[in-house]
């Protein structure tokens, strides 16, 4: 595994990093950004429905939520 420099990193996905093109925090390997997950959670409130709507796993939604609570560059 490569060294983790920025973001929330682990041995396997999901990971959170700044997107190389936009600079926004995203769920690596998906087309979904952390702020999109948070917006959906604020609208809906259900982690399970948000996961289904965005094509994510429940775990990915929770990781994005945790990332939003941290101060990442």
Give the start-to-end residue ranges of the domains of the chain. 21-69
Task: Report the percent of the chain where pLDDT is more than 90.
Answer: 51
Residues 30-42 have a mean pLDDT of: 95
C-alpha separations of 20 from 6, 25, 26, 48, 53 in Å:
12, 9, 10, 28, 25
- Residue 61 predicted with pLDDT over 50: yes
Task: Give me the chain's average pLDDT, please.
Answer: 83
Pick the more confident residue, 49 or 72. Answer: 49
Q: Of residues 12 and 61, which shows the higher confidence score?
A: 61
Q: What is the pTM of this model?
A: 0.76
Which token pair is 3? 């060294």
């Amino acid at each position: 595994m490569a060294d983790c420099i920025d973001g929330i990193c682990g041995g396997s996905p999901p990971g959170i990093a700044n997107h190389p093109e936009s600079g926004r925090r995203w769920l690596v390997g998906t087309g979904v950004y952390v702020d999109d997950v948070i917006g959906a959670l604020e609208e809906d409130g259900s982690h399970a429905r948000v996961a289904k709507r965005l094509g994510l796993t429940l775990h990915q939604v929770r990781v994005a939520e945790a990332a939003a609570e941290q101060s990442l560059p």
